[in-house]
A and B are shown apart, each in its own frame.
Chain A
Amino acid sequence: MSQIQKNMPVFFMSGVLLIYGLIANSGALLPMMKYLHTHKTMDMQVTMCLVIAGIGLAGALINSFKEQGTSTFDRFFLQPLGGIILLLLLAMFIRWYAEPMVKIWSKALAPSFGFEVYKVLNLNYVILGLLVGVIVTNTFGIPKFAAPGVKCARFVLKMGVIMLGARYSFAELAKLGIYSVWLIGIFVLGTVFLVLWLGKIFNQPKTMTGVLAAGMGVCGVSATVAVAPVVKAKSEEMAYTIGTILSFGIICMFIFPAVGKMAGMNPVQFGAWAGTGILNSAQVAAAALAFDAVDIKTLKVAEIFNITRVLFLPIIVLVLATWFGKESGQKLTFKSVVIDKFPIFILGFLLLFGLSSAGLFSPPQHYKGKFIDVSYNDRTQVTDDEWVILDGALKEGKITGLNEAQMAAVGDLHKQRQIAGNFNERDDKKAFDHTGRVRMTELESILAASKAKQITLDGDVKAVISHAVKQVHKSSKTVTVLTDCMIWFFAFGLIGLGMQITKKAIFQAGSWPLIIGGISGIAKATISFFVVLWLVKDVVLN
């Protein structure tokens, strides 16, 4: 009987999931899901809830009638089951309810504040997960039944880092050209060494300095998670690093566009600067759009500079493994650093990156699973009605104010009914692809000019062009699902990580990480500002 009582929380949580799954399946929650903009995930919500409820009930039943043992099944399934289900339940609540609600409230409050709170404070599942974990641990404490499951958090975070590799492709790196890759590499390594040096000067623990160096140098959350096991960082040190990076990014988001405009940077220069100086990818995108919402080149350059940093992650892991080993007084040989110290899960990241670059998940030139396909295809044509609208507008001369190239692109869209290369170039794939992409860029520039009210475009014609552009932007379902897996792994892991952070630990860390992070961030932003102004001209992309 006492065994059943011990498993009551697991029975209860599984029951809640089962009931929620059944109600969601009946469609009763659809209006609420539509309000929260989560209705597209309805099938996933039902499947996840029912599967997890089934596993939870089965596990709780076995636990109720079986003596606790030490077998692999006991250690890795039966004992941590309660904690795993609790973390999953919290992750579901955050992803399906808390995050969408925060977005809705932020948008509603935007007229009063003048900005959207969730964008500025970056209140996504990363921060919300950590916060929920910290709140649970510092109010109720970790429930006894959940303690072994919470220990799975770091393991699941590692799975998130491995999955991250599937989102990127070597083709993106190749686009930048060797000159820009050097520029990024120097800044990444420079920041890492600067933080390590500052840590030494301010006499900070090497675990904290190591993880902060990776976070400030590379790209925030994923780098922090990847390097933490190498430098034996504690949960609160990881959380502090994530907090420092995001706080610094918030300030940058406001300052960068203003400084860029004052300095008269062109879109490419600003993109390169924001992509180098700001760490979090969402904040990079926000700063690029704040600088120039019309020229998409700014955003594209900023994003490419930003993601290229992620690809330096394995190198930074090696650098920090060597540094940590030496600081700990170990004698290190090349073999001991590269083979013994190199974490296997980073090899997993590289493996998935390799598979992604080879085109297993999506065409090799994809970016986060998105790619452009300008080949002839019936499915990418505009509809007959849309073609009639375009035909009429051209005959009546309604489309005005465009330059020659833009007009030619519209003419070609009318002729081919889709964005594609020239038919007579179809055997030369490179030339065909290039022509198609140029046409797409011209059509995108028409939409941007219309948005900025530089030209007046008929609403129907705008819709036709917009649809044609959308048709050639494709996304790989495989990468989308793998990315979703990665987000779930991170959400689960970060809640668990938050649960390992006590008030005492937070106060012990003090404000030094913020100071070190601030100094290194400002140094990097200032130096990269001058370097970009001096070295980066108009064209950085091959």
Chain B
Amino acid sequence: MSEKKTIETGDAGKGQTVISDNANTEELEERALSVFNSERNEDLTALVLCLATTFIVLLFTKWLV
């Protein structure tokens, strides 16, 4: 069983948490600031939502008027 260590997760992460000593802390810190599992998912979701917004805006400001 690997060693454990305590890291500061900031206000958004509500204090401290215990993780494995050999964990990738940079990656954990990164994910602690996002609701997504990976950068790729975050970007793809942002893109899809933006395209949906653009489509709706076009519908109501150009195509249906």
Q: Which residue of A lies closest to B47 (CB)?
A: A348
Total residues of chain A contacting the partner, CB 8 A: 42
> What's the Cα separation between A253 and B18 when bound, in Å?
49
Query: Of the candidates A79, A144, A162, A343, which one forms a contact with B50 in the assembled complex, judged by CB atoms under 8 Å apart?
Result: A162
Q: Is B30 an interface residue (CB 8 A)?
A: yes
In the bound complex, do residue A345 and residue B46 qualify as a contact, i.e. CB atoms below 8 Å apart? yes
Bound CA span A499–B13, Å: 12
Cβ < 8 Å to B, chain A residues 198-221: none
* Shortest beta-carbon distance from A402 to chain B in Å: 40
A 468-496 binary contact with B (CB < 8 Å = 1; else 0): 00000000011001100100000000000
Total number of B residues with any Cβ neighbor in A under 8 Å:
30
- Cβ contact within 8 Å between A159 and B46: yes
Given contacts A235-B33, A347-B47, A500-B11, contact A158 B62 (CB under 8 A): no
Whether B46 pairs with A162 at a CB distance below 8 angstroms is yes
* Alpha-carbon distance between A155 and B46 when the two chains are bound, in angstroms: 7
Known: A155-B45, A158-B42. Contact between A478 and B35, CB under 8 A? no
B35: which A residues are within 8 A, CB to CB? 75-76, 79-80, 148, 151-152, 155
Q: Quick one: closest A residue to B45, CB to CB?
A: A155
Residues of B34-51 whose CB lies within 8 A of A: 34-36, 39-40, 42-47, 49-51
- Closest A residue, CB atoms, query B42: A155
Q: How far is the CB of A228 from chain B (nearest CB, A)?
A: 11
Q: Which of B39, B50, B51, B53 is packed against the most chain A CB atoms within 10 Å?
A: B50
CB atoms of B33 and A232 under 8 A apart:
no
Question: Which of A75, A150, A162, A477 is close to B61, meaning CB atoms less than 8 Å apart?
Answer: A477
User: Does A147 interact with chain B (Cβ within 8 Å)?
Assistant: yes
Q: Is A158 in contact with B46, judged by CB distance below 8 angstroms? A: yes
Which B residues are CB-close (under 8 A) to A150? 12
Complex A-B, nearest 4 residue pairs according to Cβ-Cβ distance, in ascending order: A344-B43, A348-B47, A162-B50, A158-B46
Of the A-B pairs whose beta carbons lie under 8 Å apart in the complex, a sample of 5, sorted by A's number, is: A75-B35, A158-B46, A163-B50, A348-B50, A500-B12
Residues of A within 8 A of B (CB): 75-76, 79-80, 137, 141-142, 144, 147-148, 150-152, 154-156, 158-159, 162-163, 166, 229, 232, 235, 343-345, 347-348, 351-352, 355, 360-361, 477-478, 481-482, 485, 499-500, 502
